[in-house]
Structures are given as C-alpha cells and as structure tokens.
Amino acid sequence: MRIRAPKDFWSGVMFCAFAAVAILAARGYSLGSAGKMGPGYFPLLLGGLLGVLGVILIGRSLVLDGEPVPRFHLVPLALIAVAGAGRCSRRSRPIRSRRTSPGRRAPSAAATSAAWRRRNPPTMPARRRRSSRC
C-alpha cells in the first residue's frame, strides 16, 4: 500500500487520534439513552463520527492522488516555543500600561450604577410590598 495523498492521510490520522481521545474521555460517564442522554453520550457520538471520518480520509488517501505535505520547518517553531516559555517564567510580570495602573482603574459596575441613580432619580415612588401576614 502506497500513500498517494499524504495530506488526506495525516488528516485522517489526526481525526482518528481526536476520536480516540473523545471516546476515552467518555468512558467514565454514563451514556443514558437516546431519549434521555447522559453526560457521556455526546462525546461518544462525536468520537465515533470523528473516527468514521478519519477512516474515510485514510482510505481515500490510499486510492486518490493528492498533494504532498510541504516540508515541516521545525526551527522557527522551536524558537517561538522557547520565546514563549521564556516569557512565562516565574520572574516575568505582566506589563502595565498607564490605563491599568492602580491609580487609574475603571469604576466598578456598582459605582457606575450608583452614580447613574444619583443623576437620574426615579419619577415614581417605589411600591411598598404588602406583607403576606394578615
């Protein structure tokens, strides 16, 4: 067997891998029934559909001709990963702009609504609740 469409083949492998993860995740939940689905019903159904789609793509890659997979450049990805890991070290702190400095914070929702109520007083007096006691 020769792989004629490598893109379809690797897409199918990826779908099958996601299907396996979804099915393994659904193992610990109860399935229920079609009328009353349990928490494991949807992940199992989704995993099954992904698996079927993956098998179709793998079969298609063995029969039909397709494009080759372009060369995978590992060095730029490694540089991005190292830069990201360096940014997330213990010593790094988030960058603060002037807007988010402690002295210039945005007002909270409670303070905003209280200010709005002061500027716009109600036109009708509030209704008194009747007590349920007679």
Is this structure's pTM higher than 0.75? no
Q: What is the pLDDT at residue 128?
A: 66
Report the percentage of the chain scoring pLDDT > 90.
Answer: 24
Average pLDDT over residues 95-122: 62
Longest alpha-carbon distance in the chain: 88
CA distance 109 to 28: 41
Provide the 3-class DSSP secondary structure of residue 116.
Answer: helix
For the chain, give the mean pLDDT: 78
Kindly tell me if the per-residue pLDDT of 126 is higher than 80.
Answer: no
| pLDDT, tens digit (0-9, with 9 covering 90-100), for 74-91 | 888 888 888 877 666 555
DSSP symbols for 37-95: B-TTHHHHHHHHHHHHHHHHHHHHHHHS--PPPPPP-HHHHHHHHHHHHHHTSTT----
Residue 19's Cβ-count burial label (10 Å; 0-12, 13-18, 19+) is: buried
